[in-house]
Amino acid sequence: MIQALLALTTPTPPGAATTTATSSGPGVLLSLIVWLPLLGALVIMALPNRSDEDQGRIKSVAAVFTLVPLLLALLAFFSTATEITNFTYTGDFKYVDNIAWIGAFGAHYKVGVDGLSLPLVVLSTLLFFVAVLASWNLKERVKEYFILILVLDIGVTGVFTAMDYLLFFIFWEIELIPMFLLIAIWGGARRMYAAWKFLLFTIAASAALLLAILILFFKSGQGTFDMQVLAQTAKLPAALTYALFWLFFLCFAIKLPAFPLHTWLPDAHVEAPTPVSVLLAGILLKMGGYGMLRICVGQFPSAAHKFSLAVLALGVIGVLWGGFAALVQDDMKRMVAYSSVSHMGFVLVGMSGLTALSLNGAAYQLFAHGVITGSLFLLVGLVYDRTHTRSIRELGGLAQRMPYLAVAWVVAALASLGLPGFAGFIAEFEIFVGTFGVHRVGTLLAVFGVVLSAAYLLWMLERVFFGAIKETWQKLKDPGALELGYMAGMLAVVFAFGALPLVTRTLAQMINLGVAPLAARAGGG
Amino acid sequence: MNAQTLYYLLPELVLLATALAVVIIGLFLEGDVEPAATSAPARRVAATVAIVGTVLSFATLLLLIPSSGTPWDKLNGTFVVDHYAIFLKALLLLFAVITILMGYRATETFRPHQSEFIGLVLLATAGGMFMASAREMIELYVSLETLSIALYVMVAFNKGERRSSEAGFKYLVFGAASSAVLLYGLAILYGLTGRTNLDAVGQELARAGTASPALVLATIFIIGGFSFKIAAVPFHQWVPDVYQGAPTPVTAFIAVSSKTAGYALLIRVLTSALLPLTHQWGMYIAIVAAITMTVGNVTALSQTSVKRLLGYSSIAHAGYIMLGLLAISNPQTERLGIAALLFYLLVYGLTNLAAFAALQTAEAATGSDELTALAGLGRRSGGVALILALSVLSLTGIPPLIGFFAKVLVFIPAVQAGYSWLVLVALVNSALSAVYYLRVVRAMYLDEGRAGRPLSVGAPMAAALAVGVFALLPLAAFTGVFFERAQAAAAAVFQR
């Protein structure tokens, strides 16, 4: 099994093929993916918002301007996949768009994707489109809502594509204000508390990030913010490298979130409206994980090596803490939120392993968890829309009245607990196998997290969907075609990237091509 | 004085002629006791003439660009036209146009002195433009007073209102005191060197080598005197009262043009007469900057009036801007630092004008400048609220808004010049400032307010707001382009 997986993730290109130059693709494609939502936001700004018809038009515009980037991202994904199958793709950055921006400081507008970031671009464009669909029934302040969603889209896809530290920071920050307002205006009862808490944590993260970037810029003395150049040439004293590693780590750990900086997450999730939760868990957390791999490992491999035990400890504590906390929640959404903390802990575990396989697993987990937890939050939202409660205790026997929804729930829950055949399994398996050789005890403890997630998910399913149905829920009906449609789409993705050999292999190879340089620099096997 | 001299003075002359024309037009078109209906045409004519005159002045300024590569300082070396002066004059003219547009509707309440108000804006701008070119103590002082005296009148323009009169009086007293301090400093400098030309003073001081106590005193007095104009410690106490009491367009004008002109002169003095004393004033400015930004931000936390809040924010920004001055102490970073400072002035100016324009629109509808009056503005008038929100977020320095770039650009040379501790103070201050700026955003979008009709925005105000919108978002993408202009300007100021 291990051998099979290793074979799966390590393509063996024929020697001749690696030397052929690959076309890197037009840079404008990526810039379109990032900036089209801005055009959408401007169009919506110009639209009137007086009648229901106007609202329908606004929603359609938002759908179009998230669907087109999704299609473009898929185009990039599949053309890269074809190149991988033909062994013509070597893992370099593709679709690079590079324009001088602030000459005096060597800052560039430079975007591009490699095997690590391309899947995340696909993930984010997918989830933004789904989030727009999931917001179709929104009635309140529709115009502002979709403008904020589209602005958020720019920031997130920008983070995954930026190849310049200053640009990375700019995109990182774009997310702050829209997310704050989305929680604070459209959130639940305690929205103000949750929004401010989110804001304070995020501002702290940003301050650390900016400080780290500026120190890196000054101390490297290269006069550039270019990520690739700095990763290859920056010669820093060891102490400074360690300090910078922890500064970046602090920022990404807040976003991921890692124990003990995760406390903003359950509040933000519970109060945020469903589509915003989907985005928050599905993509925004991935920004933290992506930063960990791209910057903490990619820029500071020696520090990542030195502190791998600390990272492991934080990861394992996160896995167990999140898992146990999820076990005792009564609010379904809070439970899913804590399960996110737990599953993001696996990313840290994989990162601490620093082997090719464990890093592959961490990157795979980012993608898998994005789709799976996105689905879970959508499902929580669908239950809440119909029952107006998320309390597990109050629900029961829903499967009798909502069979389709129950099936979707079971599938998503099984995927989330890491059942083979779904995307999450591959990720977690790679993480455990890859890390076990390095940190035996830690990995064993982390594996216990899978047991925990089986416990809280199955127990929740049993209490909510099975057993005797309560009188109150006799009149419930299954969700409509739109909801079942996007749910089916999401779960199909979860299944495809976990079971279909061709699809899974393509993604695994793509990620491996992106992660291999990181693993090589980190000195792992 | 010959034809060539007049040619180089053309932008200022055009502006002064326009100012006079506007006042004279007003004299004929609006009487003392005429009803409002008949005064509207007067206002329209006066504003149109003023804007045409400003644009003409701008056009003549552009004519001077080709010849400004080699600095021209005739008039016995008192008046210099270089890239630096032209950059700042362009800024001042831009700010003047926006102020006139902003004030178009507000001037109605100034009847029967509407055209005088517009004339004063132009006169003050002309004073500021002379400041940008001044290279001699007497001219420096006269141009500074031209700007100041026009402002004293403008602050008290709502003479029926107690707060406006009080603000005018306070402004006058503080202005006079700081003027006296500045003059004293200049007098000592003259006494020590026997020169009034700033470059000559610098050469004399460089030759003398050592800094006598009198010289240090003079330096502190001169920088202290300028701190009134740029709203820095210790002459900053007038800011909140004047910002709140003055009519909003005047507040905006003081916040933007007066500060820009003040920095124009301060940079000129620091890079010419006081250049040999870099080590003496470097630490003084660093400490003043740290105190200024901290005082501004900490006090702003407890404000309930948005105008006062923006006043304290203006003090805080005076502190950030001073970081650019510190780069002068290091020949490696001096140009980058001044370029960053000039870019900051552009950004700060446009952002503040946008904020005040939006605030004035809201104030006209609610009749109050309190934070609570902004409640629900997001629903009531989305566009105006968005502009105010974007401008305060830009002032906070949240990317991708332009304010972030301005801040980072002044931070970088300051670090390179060895003032990392001060940049750290500035970073902490920026984070602190988020608290009160976000309070404005919160009031508009999250607090429940009275429902009301959308605010009425006239065409002139819409134009002013449009400039603001451009400044807030697309400008960030062109940071490189504008920064190059600023770099050319900064290079000129160090050309000797």
CB contact (8 A) between residue B393 and residue A169: no
Distance separating alpha carbons of residues B292 and B297, to the nearest angstrom = 9
- Residues B93-144 have pLDDT tens digits of 999 999 998 888 777 777 667 788 889 999 999 999 999 998 889 989 999 9
Q: What is the pLDDT at residue B1?
A: 58
Q: What is the pLDDT at residue B31?
A: 58
Contacts of A207 in chain B (CB under 8 A): 427, 431
Q: Does residue A251 belong to the interface with chain B, where contact is any CB pair within 8 Å?
A: no
Q: What is the pLDDT at residue B162?
A: 85
Strand partners, A164: A226
List the structure tokens of A38.
């801005």
A19-28, A57-66, A477-486, B197-206: least confident range: A19-28
Contacts of B480 in chain A (CB under 8 A): 100-104
Q: Is the pLDDT of residue A525 over 50?
A: no
CB contact (8 A) between residue B446 and residue A184: yes
List the structure tokens of B118.
């517009």
Q: What is the pLDDT at residue A107?
A: 86
Q: Is the pLDDT of residue B208 over 50?
A: yes
Pair B229, B174: CB distance under 8 Å: no
Contacts of B488 in chain A (CB under 8 A): none
In this prediction, what percent of chain A has a pLDDT beyond 70?
Answer: 95
Q: Is the pLDDT of residue A160 over 50?
A: yes
- Report ipTM (2 d.p.): 0.78
Distance separating alpha carbons of residues B124 and B143, to the nearest angstrom = 9
Q: Is the pLDDT of residue A103 over 80?
A: no
Q: What is the pLDDT at residue B460?
A: 79
Contacts of A192 in chain B (CB under 8 A): 446
B318-327, B423-432, B487-496: least confident range: B487-496
CB contact (8 A) between residue B409 and residue A102: yes
Q: Which of B441, B442, B415, B440 is nearest to B427 (CA)?
A: B415
B480 vs chain A: nearest CA distance in angstroms?
4
List the structure tokens of A171.
């995109």
Q: Is the pLDDT of residue B33 over 60?
A: no
* Pairs across A and B, CB distance < 8 A: 63
In this prediction, what percent of chain A has a pLDDT beyond 90?
Answer: 46
List the structure tokens of A524.
């792992």
Contacts of A144 in chain B (CB under 8 A): 378, 382
- Show which of residues 175-234 on chain B sit within 8 Å of chain A, judged by CB atoms: none
DSSP state of A226: B
Helices (H), B156-237: 162-193, 198-208, 213-230
For tokens 């008192």, the residue is B78
Please enumerate in sequence order all residues whose Cβ is within 8 A of that of A203, keeping only pairs 6 or more positions apart, or say none. Answer: A176, B431, B434
- Residues B177-189 have pLDDT tens digits of 999 999 999 999 9
Q: Is the pLDDT of residue B38 over 60?
A: no
Q: Does residue A75 belong to the interface with chain B, where contact is any CB pair within 8 Å?
A: no
| HSE toward the beta carbon, residue B268, CA cutoff 13 A | 29
Distance separating alpha carbons of residues B398 and A176, to the nearest angstrom = 9
Read off the pLDDT of each residue in B263-281 and give the average, rounded to a whole number.
88
Read off the pLDDT of each residue in A490-498 and give the average, rounded to a whole number.
90
DSSP per-residue letters across B84-122: HHHHHHHHHHHHHHHHHHHHHHHGGGGTT-HHHHHHHHH
Q: Does residue A198 belong to the interface with chain B, where contact is any CB pair within 8 Å?
A: no
Contacts of B382 in chain A (CB under 8 A): 143-144
DSSP per-residue letters across A383-417: HHHHHS--BTTT---GGGT-HHHHHHHHHHHHHHT
CB contact (8 A) between residue A103 and residue B483: yes
Distance separating alpha carbons of residues A236 and A222, to the nearest angstrom = 11
Q: What is the pLDDT at residue B184?
A: 94
Q: Does residue B400 belong to the interface with chain A, where contact is any CB pair within 8 Å?
A: yes
Read off the pLDDT of each residue in A77-85 and give the average, rounded to a whole number.
88
Pair B351, B402: CB distance under 8 Å: yes
Q: What is the pLDDT at residue B68?
A: 64
List the structure tokens of B469.
């919108």
Q: What is the pLDDT at residue B32?
A: 54
Largest pairwise CA distance in chain B: 69
Read off the pLDDT of each residue in B11-29 and give the average, rounded to a whole number.
88
Distances from the Cα of B144 to the Cα of B133, B148, B230, angstroms: 11, 6, 12
- Residues B454-463 have pLDDT tens digits of 777 777 788 8
CB contact (8 A) between residue B415 and residue A105: no
SS3 at position A162: strand
Instruction: Assign B72 a pLDDT band (cuts: 50, 70, 90).
Output: low
**Which amino acid is it at A354?**
L
Contacts of B393 in chain A (CB under 8 A): 177
Q: Is the pLDDT of residue A14 over 70?
A: no
SS3 at position A102: strand
Please enumerate in sequence order all residues whose Cβ is within 8 A of that of B76, keeping only pairs 6 or more positions apart, or say none. Answer: B136
Q: What is the pLDDT at residue A16?
A: 36
Q: Does residue B484 belong to the interface with chain A, where contact is any CB pair within 8 Å?
A: yes
Q: What is the pLDDT at residue A3?
A: 46
Distance separating alpha carbons of residues A420 and A508, to the nearest angstrom = 15
Please indicate whether residue B26 or residue A515 has the higher confidence score (pLDDT). A515
Contacts of B448 in chain A (CB under 8 A): none
Instruction: Work out the burial of residue B449: count CB atoms within 10 Å of its CB; fewer than 13 is exposed, 13-18 middle, 19 or more buried.
Output: middle
Averaged confidence pLDDT in chain A:
87
Closest residue, chain B, to A158 (C-alpha): B400
Closest residue, chain A, to B333 (C-alpha): A104
Tally Cβ neighbours within 10 Å of residue A152. 28
Instruction: Assign A88 a pLDDT band (cuts: 50, 70, 90).
Output: confident
List the structure tokens of B484.
């190059």
Pair A347, A373: CB distance under 8 Å: no
For tokens 């999401």, the residue is A490
Q: What is the pLDDT at residue B368?
A: 85
What pTM was estimated for this model as a whole?
0.85
Q: What is the pLDDT at residue B70?
A: 63
CA angle (A215, A216, A217) in 5-degree steps: 90
Q: Is the pLDDT of residue B443 over 90?
A: no
Q: Does residue A48 belong to the interface with chain B, where contact is any CB pair within 8 Å?
A: no
**Which amino acid is it at A440?**
R
- Residues A170-190 have pLDDT tens digits of 999 888 889 999 998 898 888
Q: Is the pLDDT of residue B341 over 90?
A: yes
Closest residue, chain A, to B382 (C-alpha): A144
CB contact (8 A) between residue B431 and residue A203: yes
